[in-house]
Chains A and B, each alone.
Chain A
Amino acid sequence: MTSKREMSLDYTLELQIPFETEGQASIATKVLSPDPILKPQDFQVDYSSEKNIMLVRFRSIDDRVLRVGVSSVIDSIKTIVETIDELS
């Protein structure tokens, strides 16, 4: 059931990240998925991957919360990319 509060998460951003391989996109998705959202009533993130593309969908109550959440997740994704690049 969708709560009334969740209905208001209508500031959205969809991010598509093309990894070099399907395996890398899958790893990045699995690494980030367990991260808890501190205020799920204000901000939600969904991770998925399709072939070598990682898909991240953000939903937020306003631009301010969206900015903080999106930038934080991109920071994490850059760290994952940097790590795979260093180890490969």
Chain B
Amino acid sequence: MTLPVALYSAPDGVEKNFIPTPDDPRYLTTEGRTTGPSDHVLNAGQIDRDKPSDPKYTADGSQLTYLSQLRTQLTGLQDDINEFLTRRMELAKNKKKAGAEEKRIQEEINQLLDGGDGEEDAD
């Protein structure tokens, strides 16, 4: 069967193709790693009522139905996209944090170079 695919593009020039590997276990399940309640919530006793059904097999039981294969591949693809975008978000967050810290240090240096000793208003 043809695989579901995705192409990401960002203004900083980053592009990424997402293509499932059909035999990889992560593309053979309907239970995603990045969707549904967290382990913490489940361990606290919460029941996942929105849990996706297991994939269906063909009448002779030899393989998954076409649509079940599509659903398991979409689940893996969704995990790939979610994990990739989460990493991108972390990078942007760290970059922002580093920029703020750099600005703070620069301001402190400028203040010292200007002879700022906090006594401007003393007279």
Contacts and interface: CB of A to CB of B under 8 A. Distances in A.
Given A11-B10, A85-B71, A67 B85 contact: yes
B38 interface: no
B58 to A, nearest CB: 11
Interface in B22-47: 30, 34-35
B56 A85 contact: yes
Given A11-B10, A13-B6, A67-B85, A18 B74 contact: no
A17 B70 contact: yes
A67 B90 CA distance: 13
Contact of B78 (A53, A71, A81, A85): A71
Contacts of A17: 4, 70, 74
Contacts of B4: 15-18
Interface residues of A, number: 30
Interface residues on B, range: 20 to 34
B52 A18 contact: no
Given A71-B78, A77-B74, A10 B11 contact: yes
Interface of A: 10-20, 24, 53, 62-64, 66-67, 70-71, 74-75, 77-78, 81-82, 84-86, 88
